[in-house]
Amino acid sequence: MRSVVRGVAGLPYPAVQSGLVQSGWADGDAVAKPTEAPARGLLGGLPAVVGPLLGASVLGALILHLMASLVAQLPAADALGALSVMVGMAVVLVTLLPFALLSFRRAQRAWAAIQGFGRETGQGTGRP
């Protein structure tokens, strides 16, 4: 049985050593906290801010669009239809809002890293 598991599709099966599973996933805190300064100073870190901000704005626009389309259906609905519209609104918020907030927090961390790099190197402080 072991040879079957180890040789699935011709790929070797990595052994688990002493209960420690060696996965390829990075730690969430290690990914969220940048360990290096931006490559080219202040302008080098701007793509790290713009990407998550763009993602958060797109998700915010999608949330508003879905909520508006659900509200447009509300006046024509009966009591059960109104309840289903409200449940749909809650599902939209519960599903998409955490991702929008996560993107915003990622942009905020990147901006703080840029600001911290500027303070460390003396950029933007008005010093000659």
Q: What digits encode the pLDDT tens for the residues 50-92?
A: 888 999 999 999 999 999 999 898 888 888 988 998 999 999 9
pLDDT over threshold 90, residue 99: yes
Give the Cβ contact number of residue 45 at 10 Å: 21
Amino acid 73: pLDDT: 87
Q: Specify whether the CB–CB gap between 104 and 52 falls below 8 A.
A: yes
Residue 72, domain member (yes or no) = yes
Residue 2, domain member (yes or no) = no
> How many structural domains is the chain composed of?
1
Q: What's the pLDDT tens digit per position in 11-29? A: 555 554 544 445 555 545 4
Residue 51, domain member (yes or no) = no
d(CA 81, CA 61): 25
Q: Is the full-model pTM beyond 0.75?
A: no
Residue 44, domain member (yes or no) = no
Instruction: Kindly state the helix (H) or strand (E) to which residue 84 belongs, with its residue range.
Output: helix 79-121
Amino acid identity for residue 23 in this structure = S
Q: Positive or negative CA dihedral for 90, 95, 98, 103?
A: negative
Residue 103, domain member (yes or no) = yes
Give the Cβ contact number of residue 40 at 10 Å: 9
Tell me which range, 31-35, 47-51, 97-101, is most confidently predicted by mean pLDDT. 97-101
Give the Cβ contact number of residue 37 at 10 Å: 16
Residue 108, domain member (yes or no) = yes
Tokens matching residue 100: 């929008």
The model's confidence at residue 119, banded by pLDDT at 50, 70 and 90, is confident
Q: Specify whether the CB–CB gap between 56 and 109 falls below 8 A.
A: no
Name the residue range of residue 101's domain.
57-120
Residue 106, domain member (yes or no) = yes
Residue 36, domain member (yes or no) = no
